[in-house]
Chains A and B, each alone.
Chain A
Amino acid sequence: MAEGRMRGSAAPNNLYFPLTLTLSLREREFSRQYHLKRELLKFAIFTILVLLLPLAAKEGYILNVLVFVGIHSILAIALNLLLGYAGQISLGHAGFFGLGAYISGVLTATHGQNPWLAMCYAAGAVGILAFVIGFPILKLKGHYLAMATLGLGIIIYILFNETVDLTGGPSGLSGIPNLTLGTLTFDNDLKNYYLVWTFTLVAILLAVNLANSRIGRALRAIHDSETAARLMGINARFLKVQVFALSALLCSVAGSLYAHVMTFVAPASFGFNFSVELVTMVIIGGLGSIYGSVLGAAILTLLPELLRAFQDYDIIIYGLILILMTMFLPGGLVSMAPVFMSLLRGRRKQPGGAHAEA
Chain B
Amino acid sequence: MLKLKNINTYYGQVHALKTVSMHLNKGEIVTLIGANGAGKTTILNTISGITPPRDGEILFEGEGIVKLPPDRIVRRGVSQVPEGRQVFKPLSVEDNLELGAYLRYRSREGRGEIRKDLEKVYELFPRLLERRKQMAGTLSGGEQQMLAIGRALMAKPRLLLLDEPSMGLAPLVVQEIFRVLEMLRHEHGTTILLVEQNAKAALKLADRGYVLETGKVILEEVASELLENKEVQRAYLGRDKKEIWER
Contact = CB atoms under 8 A, between A and B. Distances in A.
- A and B co-occur in one complex: yes
A227 interface: yes
Given A217-B95, A221-B88, A231 B126 contact: no
A13 B80 CA distance: 28
Contact of B132 (A5, A28, A235, A355): A28
A234 B122 CA distance: 23
B205 interface: no
A227 B71 CA distance: 11
Nearest to A32: B94
Interface string A291-317: 000000000000000000000000000
Interface stretch (A18-26, A135-143, A250-258, A271-279): A18-26
Interface in A13-47: 13, 17, 20-21, 24-25, 28, 31
Given A6-B130, A214-B105, A224-B90, A234 B71 contact: yes
Contact of A233 (B88, B103, B132): B103
A230 B126 contact: no
A228 B103 contact: no
B63 to A, nearest CB: 17
Contacts of B122: 21, 24
A10 B91 contact: no
Contacts of A31: 133
Contacts of B102: 214, 217-218, 232-234
Contacts of B98: 214, 217
A13 B71 CA distance: 36
A10 B125 contact: yes
Interface in B151-210: 151, 155, 172-173, 176
A12 interface: yes
Contacts of A354: 90
Nearest to A16: B126
B234 interface: no
A17 B126 contact: yes
Residue of A220, A223, A227, A228 with most partner-chain B CB within 10 A? A228
Interface residues of A, number: 36
B103 to A, nearest CB: 4
Contacts of A20: 126, 129
Chain A interface, >50% SS class: helix
Contacts of A182: none
Contacts of A25: 119
B102 to A, nearest CB: 5
B48 A221 contact: no
Contacts of B126: 5-6, 10-13, 17, 20
Contact of A224 (B80, B88, B105, B173): B88
A231 B80 contact: yes
A10 B127 contact: yes
Contacts of A350: none
Contacts of A223: 90
A9 interface: yes
A230 B75 CA distance: 11
A330 to B, nearest CB: 12
A1 interface: yes
Contacts of A346: none
Nearest to B146: A10
Interface string B90-123: 1100110011101101000000000000010011
Contacts of B127: 6, 10
Contacts of B123: 12, 17, 21
B86 interface: yes
A224 B82 CA distance: 14
Residue of B49, B69, B98, B155 with most partner-chain A CB within 10 A? B69
Contact of A21 (B71, B82, B91, B119): B119
A233 B119 contact: no
A130 B119 CA distance: 41
Residue of A21, A24, A224, A233 with most partner-chain B CB within 10 A? A233
Given A6-B126, A10-B126, A10-B176, A231 B99 contact: no
Given A227-B86, A228-B88, A1 B71 contact: no
B155 A232 contact: yes
A208 to B, nearest CB: 16
29 contacts: A1-B130, A5-B126, A6-B130, A10-B125, A10-B173, A11-B126, A11-B176, A12-B124, A21-B119, A21-B123, A21-B129, A28-B94, A214-B105, A217-B99, A220-B88, A221-B99, A225-B86, A225-B88, A227-B50, A231-B70, A231-B74, A232-B99, A232-B100, A233-B71, A233-B74, A233-B103, A235-B69, A355-B91, A355-B135
Given A218-B99, A230-B69, 5 more contacts: A1-B130, A12-B123, A25-B119, A231-B50, A231-B86
Interface of B: 48-50, 69-71, 74-75, 79-80, 82, 86-91, 94-95, 98-100, 102-103, 105, 119, 122-127, 129-130, 132-133, 135, 146, 151, 155, 172-173, 176
Q: 10 smallest A-B Cβ distances: which pairs?
A: A233-B74, A228-B86, A233-B103, A230-B70, A355-B90, A235-B71, A233-B71, A224-B88, A221-B88, A232-B102
